[in-house]
Amino acid sequence: MSENRRPYLDDSLGLAVQGYSWLPGRWRRAGTASAVQTRLMGRRAVGLRGPEAVRFFYDEAHVRRHGAIPEPVQGTLFGHSAIQTLDGLDHRNRKMMFLSVLKDARQVGRLAQRAGELWDEAAEDWTRRPQVVLFDESARVITRAVCEWAGVPLAAADVTRTAADLTALVDGFATLGPRHWRARRARGRCERWLADLIQQVRDGAVTAPADSVLDLVARHTETDGRLIERKRAAVELLNVIRPTVAVSWYVSFAGHALHRWPQHRQRLQAGDREWAVAFAHELRRFYPFAPFVGGLAVRDLSWRGEHIPAGAMVLLDIYGQHHDPALWPDPYRFDPGRFLDKAPGRDELIPQGGGDPHAGHRCPGEDVTLALLATLVIRLARLDFEVPQQDLTISLRRIPALPRSRVVLRVAGSARSEDAVDAVLHATPYR
């Protein structure tokens, strides 16, 4: 009996045990099937992948987000009533707020430049310490940069705690263990902090910099013309800051890649802007971050002959698509050169979602991710560092994945960098 003709038994335990390899494994067992069928958390689920599947998935006539995101993910990663849970006019209205700043090349460049300056400051301190943990240090650098850029006051004494809370939100969304409860506590602290700040801005006790993210969120109105409720405003302000700090995952992966494949380091050290962008793309393709995204079928659907009943969970296989040899020759080889001749196809490379960011659910912060990575990987490559003995294994069972040691470095000396941030300001994240 083929994979797709077997009884649809719940495989939630399989996902918990196998992590990123769960859905690709079901594809291998399904053979030539155009979709994989299963159940998750008691609900019928259908897995899709490939550029055409991306376009199918992000068509709101097919798949909706409202009611699709499990509460444990809302209670940690996204927040309740966040933009990721909305559809239609409400989603587009909320998203215009994000697009106005996150798709502004000047704003993106300013954030990347400040992150680079703060990295240089931190790197001077790293030379005076026996060793540093790249993940933790990059999270602190990016936390300082994004809060300053967003107009959110953050005292120096609060940087370490705030960075730990912001990374905890990401680290705990896919587990019900201690990491999950740490993330819930962190979300409560962050939402209270930012809700109070937004209220102070509205009361005139705090002045938000003009056109800053804080200013835009505090002034944002819903489709009914009323100011967004302050807790929801805090959730959305956090949905700018939190994913920006999550770039520290990719910085850690960059350290892992430069250690494992040092031949890529020289071009970054030379400040090759095109190579830095290609390196950033390959980090986002090769290394595991989001295993898949999900939504609910709006009505009875058909995908290449496969029936998808109304209300079924539709899963877009991100990790599997990024390692599909039909799209990426030799997909388990780390090769930034694959992105030198052309930008990746819009619906081929989808670490932050697919489709059009202006009209759909693709993350509007993708340009920020690329700008930060292209800026920071050059600086990382220029550091005079050693990688001491440590456990650099990356478990595909842990979501989100991270090198077990979080990449420990011994920095012997630092060189201040003058790399231009415009490495990505005129490079689209996809064609």
Decide which of 73 and 284 is more confident: 284
In a domain, 64, yes or no: yes
pLDDT tens digits for range 287-327: 999 999 999 999 999 999 999 999 999 999 999 999 999 99
The percent of residues in the chain predicted with pLDDT above 70, rounded, is 87
Rounded Cα distance between 91 and 69, Å, is: 15
Q: What's the alpha-carbon Rg for the chain, to the nearest Å?
A: 21
Number of domains present in the structure of the chain: 1
Does 47 score more than 50 pLDDT?
Answer: yes
Give the range of the structural domain holding residue 127, as residue numbers without chain letter: 3-423
Instruction: Provide the CATH number for the domain around residue 297.
Output: 1.10.630.10
Output the pLDDT for position 84: 57
Helix pair 366-382, 247-260: axis angle to 10 deg:
40
| Cis peptide bond prior to 344, omega within 30° of 0 | no
Confidence at residue 430, expressed as pLDDT on a 0 to 100 scale = 47
Mean pLDDT of the 176-183 span: 91
Mean pLDDT to the nearest integer, 90-108: 71
Structural domain includes residue 431: no
- 142 found inside a domain: yes
As a whole number of angstroms, the distance between CA 190 and CA 192 comes to: 6
Helix H or strand E segment including 88: helix 88-102
Is residue 430 one of the residues assigned to a domain?
Answer: no
Average pLDDT, the chain: 88
Q: What is the pLDDT of residue 178?
A: 92
Can you give the pLDDT at residue 413? 64
- The lowest-confidence range among 40-44, 75-79, 219-223, 370-374 is 75-79
Looking at per-residue pLDDT, the higher value among 81 and 407 belongs to: 407
Q: For the segment 134-151, what is each residue's pLDDT rounded down to a tens digit?
A: 999 999 999 999 999 999
d(CA 57, CA 361): 10
Percent of the chain with pLDDT over 90: 68
- Phi and psi torsions of 44, nearest 5°: -55, 135
Q: Work out the pLDDT band at 221, boundaries 50, 70, 90.
A: confident
pLDDT above 90: residue 405: yes
Residue 385 within any structural domain of the chain:
yes
pTM above 0.85, yes or no: yes
pLDDT, mean of residues 269-297? 95
pLDDT tens sequence across 112-121: 999 999 999 9
Enter the tokens of residue 252: 């850690």
Domain-embedded: residue 99: yes
SS3 category, 61: coil
CA proximity to 288, closest of 174, 183, 210, 184 = 174
Consecutive H or E run containing 386: strand 384-386
Res 380 pLDDT > 50: yes
Q: Which residue has the higher pLDDT, 41 or 298?
A: 298
- Model confidence over 51-98: pLDDT tens digits? 999 999 999 899 988 777 777 777 777 766 655 555 566 656 566 666
> Is residue 429 in a domain?
no
Residue 343 belongs to some domain of the structure: yes
Cα–Cα dist 162/402, whole Å: 20
The enclosing H or E element of 281 equals helix 273-286
Nearest to 122 by CA among 105, 108, 136: 136
